[in-house]
Structure 1
Amino acid sequence: MSNAKEVRPFGIRDKVGYMFGDLANDFSFIFASTYVMVFYTKIMGISTAMVGTMFLIARCIDAFTDIGMGRIVDSSKPTKNGRIRPWILRMCGFVALASFLMYQSFLVNAPYGAKVAYMFVTYILWGSIFYTSINIPYGSMASVISSEPKDRSSLSVFRSVGGTFAGILIGVMAPSLVYYTDEAGNQVVSAGRISLVAGAFSVIAVICYLLCYFMTTERVEYVPKTTEKKSVGATLKSLLTNRALLGMIVSAVLLLLASLMGQGINVYLFADYFKNTSALSIFSLLMLPCVILMAMFSTKLATRFGKKECGVAGMAASAVLYLIMGILHIQNVWAFVVGAFFAMLGMYFFQTQCWALVTDVIDDVEVQTGSRDDGTIYGIYSFSRKIGQAIAGGLSGWALGWIGYDSLAAGQTQEVANGIYNLSTFFPAVIYLLCALALQFIYPLSKKRVDSNVAELQKRANAQKNA
């Protein structure tokens, strides 16, 4: 009992520390999502088809490494610094180094096969091995930093804030650092600069990982499994038939589809429908005030009414507002920007809280099975999100083809422009509605059930101590 008294109470230090963890992740992940294909194609001269093939192979490998790392985390034994948290310290240097190595151009004049081999090795080493080895423990950590639903909601919000800040910093800083203007006025990617930027971001990522490690504390005590250890196959079969996990995955993948599809289509919306690309920058910055507003209110709302309940209301509200915008067929770009701001608020509520659903699912599985599988559950969730990202990555291109978009034309016909507008409004309206329905009818963890699970696990933990 004396050890328990020494544990620092949960507070702002944990929230900010956890936020730094997502900042660290995204200094390599968002930068890679934005620039790794640019580097491979424009600097290394590798075909887009080969890069796409590599991405597909990497996602297949992720199916094993994400869940495998989850099992490793679940098998980790407690140390004086925690059970899951030490993985941040162990792996932060490796993921940063692997990220830096992806952007080295010393093989630019080498045979094509050598360049492709280097691309495959460094990208898979970074994304499928080292990034996975730190992201799975990081995501699993939220369930052991605190057992309180309110605290977990706060961690989810701060994680979302961290990701948003990283996205804005990279979006604002990287283009001016990576590109230069040649004598003809063209924007050209600099091999040396992109390598330096990758190195700087890797160093910043390590600093943020260390801040995450030293500012957070594990408080949920590890209870050894009393049931017989299951095989990987039996564990996966049990988890993949769990309604709460399936509901969370369906709703999260739907959210990703709508969000990433929107990001891809909005570039064409402002260029070809509104013919005002300068407004796109302001529109892109809207996510910051949206996330800030949700950071201020979402935890209080989730604590009072429940994460599921507020998520359903938020996604339904966003669906209705996007539907209205689609029907109105707004012509004025600034009216659209204002409408989109309010339409995104409900969506951003769920986005800031979706990470907290993972911890609720982990608790629910433990109550039902007696087995706590933090890492495995987060590994399955992480892999499902990657599949959603892969689908969404191609969806915007396919959708533009369906409406007749001509990439070689200087301008699009009015019919195509209207099709782009419809994609940017009716598509999110439908997907957000489906997300609300998935939360309502598939995901079973209401506020009452979440609170009941927390009480049951606390009761079991107390009984274990007194045994």
Structure 2
Amino acid sequence: MATTTQKSGLTFKHKVGYAMGDLGGCMTFALMGAMVTRYYTNVLQVNTAVLATLLLVWNIWDAVNDPMMGALMDKMYAKHHNKNGKFRPWLLRAAPLLAITSIVFWTVPTLFDGYTMLVVLFFCKILYEGCYTMFNIPMGSLLSAMANTDGERAALSSARGFGSMIGNVIPMMILPQLLAKFGDTSKAFGIGAAICASIGFVFCFLHYYWTEERNVADTPKEEAANVKFTDILSVFKKNRAFLALCIHGVCICCMQYVGSTLGTYMYSDVLGNIGIMSLASVVSMPLSIVALLIMPKLAEKFGLEKVIRTCLLIGCGLYMGLFAVMMLFSVPAIVYLVWSTMASGIASVSILMQWGLVGEAIDYNELLTGKRTEGSIYGTFNLSRRIGQTVGNSAAVLALGWIGYDANLAAQSAGTLTGIKALCVLVPGIFLVGSWIAFRFVWNITPEIRAKMAASKAAKSAQ
């Protein structure tokens, strides 16, 4: 059985370094969530039906390669015991590839037309997503290798939340201004992508240099064969907490990607002011900062999963209320921006803080199975998030066609505008209910189980 070697002293540098990981990754990935559909439809002029098919294929591949990457890291480390760590060597390899493939994706397809453009676009997206997976899976798995206690997991989750928040805000300040200045052009998207990729590259390297794998699973080489790609199947059978996280991952990403995929259409076509999107950070950043600062104390008093459930319900209520108001009245762009940003921001506390629960599910799985497979579990959790992304993103794009959106029209029909409102406001609220159900009725880690996990980890450390 594997033993665990623990190093003491999670430092401020470790926390900042861990925050740099999601900050750097989100500098390019945020564009994929909020701006890429407009790039497809308004710059590349991809038909919505063709685009929905491409998105389905892309996201199926993304869903498959996440757990494969995680299992590969577990298997490689169990076999070779790289002296530089289990996860950090992958970060060093992936960072430059992530920056390069991001720039290529937003520029190279614009040089082609017709079927050739579609083929080039297809492979550019495949390359970018492969490199993002190569960076994101070890970055996320690193939390469990750095944190030895519940307090450390909460601290690193908060740090990652800060990094994610900043990494998502900066691109959304840069690109809308470029679109407002240059319009929906390849120049605007290309310049924005190059700026974001360059900034992200720097932060990704800071993540590598300022982190340390303190909690190392010392699996004997003779037991390496016991680490299998199929181990994750037993996790779904035995680990209810992990199952709850996966359900949450599907629902919360559906909420997130439906809203972000169609956000530009709401601001541009319904509200008539796409430039105001840059101000969303003025509302979201202070809200996220306050949430991340007080979350550890609230979690300590009430329990992290209970606090997350409450935030999900509040976010759902805000979305439903906004939709009702928009059906009755003409809502100014600034009112929509503040209201919707508060709804998504409060609901997204679950996204910012879910990583601590993933670490807890990893510890719980080690208690149940005797194996510590951070990569496989984190990769499979990402699989659930990719499924949510696929459903949210692909369905949103298909829905654009269903509601009659036409990029060539100067103004959309009343029915189309109503459809955009429903997709951007009502649908996210519905998905939040599903996420709440997962934590209310499926999650099963109690204080008694936490005590057993702590005792098991202490016993292995003493071996």
User: What residue in structure 1 maps to residue 147 of structure 2?
Assistant: 146
Aligned AA for 2:305? K
Q: Deviations over 1:30-57 (max 9, x none)?
A: 2344555655666666655555433322
- Give me the identity figure in percent: 26
Matches within 5 A, 1:14-33: 14-33=14-33
Using the TM superposition, name which of 34-43 and 195-204 deviates more. 34-43
How far, CA to CA, are the matches of 2:420 and 2:175 in structure 1?
A: 28
Aligned AA for 2:91? I
Does 2:249 align with 1:248? no
User: What residue in structure 2 maps to residue 300 of structure 1?
Assistant: 297
How far, CA to CA, are the matches of 2:271 and 2:192 in structure 1?
A: 34
How far, CA to CA, are the matches of 1:421 and 1:437 in structure 2?
A: 25
How far, CA to CA, are the matches of 2:339 and 2:395 in structure 1?
A: 24
Aligned AA for 2:233? K
**For the Cα contact (< 8 Å) 1:149–1:451, is it kept in 2?**
no
User: What residue in structure 2 maps to residue 318 of structure 1?
Assistant: 315
- Secondary structure at 2:218 match in 1: coil
Highest Rg: 1 or 2? 1
**For the Cα contact (< 8 Å) 2:164–2:352, is it kept in 1?**
no
User: What residue in structure 1 maps to residue 450 of structure 2?
Assistant: 450
How far, CA to CA, are the matches of 1:55 and 1:287 in structure 2?
A: 28
Matches within 5 A, 1:369-448: 369-396=369-396, 410=411, 412-413=413-414, 426-448=426-448
Does 2:58 align with 1:90? no
Aligned AA for 1:97? I
User: What residue in structure 1 maps to residue 350 of structure 2?
Assistant: 350
Using the TM superposition, name which of 367-376 and 75-84 deviates more. 75-84
Q: Deviations over 1:119-151 (max 9, x none)?
A: 3333212213x2211111111001011121222
**For the Cα contact (< 8 Å) 2:254–2:389, is it kept in 1?**
yes
**For the Cα contact (< 8 Å) 2:48–2:400, is it kept in 1?**
no
Distance 1:299 1:363, change over 3 A: same
How far, CA to CA, are the matches of 1:54 and 1:395 in structure 2?
A: 12
How far, CA to CA, are the matches of 1:122 and 1:196 in structure 2?
A: 17
**For the Cα contact (< 8 Å) 1:309–1:446, is it kept in 2?**
no
1:214 to 209, 213, 230: 209
Distance 1:87 1:321, change over 3 A: same
How far, CA to CA, are the matches of 2:44 and 2:425 in structure 1?
A: 38
How far, CA to CA, are the matches of 1:114 and 1:444 in structure 2?
A: 51
Does 2:288 align with 1:291? yes
- Secondary structure at 1:433 match in 2: helix
Deviation at 1:236, TM superposition (A): 3.0
Aligned AA for 2:172? G
Q: Deviations over 1:222-279 (max 9, x none)?
A: 231669615423x132123232221101112212222333345655656677677676
- Secondary structure at 1:222 match in 2: strand
1:118 to 117, 120, 141: 120
**Alignment TM-score, normalising by the size of structure 1:** 0.82
How far, CA to CA, are the matches of 1:412 and 1:345 in structure 2?
A: 30
**For the Cα contact (< 8 Å) 2:319–2:428, is it kept in 1?**
yes
Aligned AA for 1:126? Y
Aligned AA for 2:291? M
User: What residue in structure 2 maps to residue 173 of structure 1?
Assistant: 174
User: What residue in structure 2 maps to residue 261 of structure 1?
Assistant: 258
Unaligned runs of 5+ in 2: none
How far, CA to CA, are the matches of 1:280 and 1:90 in structure 2?
A: 34
Distance 1:197 1:423, change over 3 A: closer
How far, CA to CA, are the matches of 1:310 and 1:201 in structure 2?
A: 33
Aligned AA for 2:215? V
Aligned AA for 1:91? A
User: What residue in structure 1 maps to residue 158 of structure 2?
Assistant: 157
**For the Cα contact (< 8 Å) 2:173–2:281, is it kept in 1?**
no
How far, CA to CA, are the matches of 2:148 and 2:323 in structure 1?
A: 42
CA RMSD of aligned residues (A): 3.5
Using the TM superposition, name which of 384-393 and 77-86 deviates more. 77-86
- Secondary structure at 1:102 match in 2: helix
Aligned AA for 1:122? C
Q: Relative contact order: is structure 1 or structure 2 higher (C-alpha 8 Å, sep ≥ 6)?
A: 2
**For the Cα contact (< 8 Å) 2:101–2:128, is it kept in 1?**
yes
**For the Cα contact (< 8 Å) 2:240–2:443, is it kept in 1?**
yes
Using the TM superposition, name which of 213-222 and 75-84 deviates more. 75-84
Distance 1:270 1:305, change over 3 A: same
Deviation at 1:377, TM superposition (A): 0.9
Using the TM superposition, name which of 311-320 and 246-255 deviates more. 311-320
Distance 1:328 1:388, change over 3 A: same
Deviation at 1:95, TM superposition (A): 2.3
How far, CA to CA, are the matches of 2:308 and 2:95 in structure 1?
A: 33
Deviation at 1:220, TM superposition (A): 0.6
Count of aligned positions: 449
Using the TM superposition, name which of 37-46 and 344-353 deviates more. 37-46
Aligned AA for 1:358? V
- Secondary structure at 1:221 match in 2: strand
Matches within 5 A, 1:3-18: 9-18=9-18
Distance 1:189 1:107, change over 3 A: closer
**Alignment TM-score, normalising by the size of structure 2:** 0.83
User: What residue in structure 2 maps to residue 184 of structure 1?
Assistant: none
Distance 1:210 1:194, change over 3 A: same
Matches within 5 A, 1:41-52: 49-52=49-52
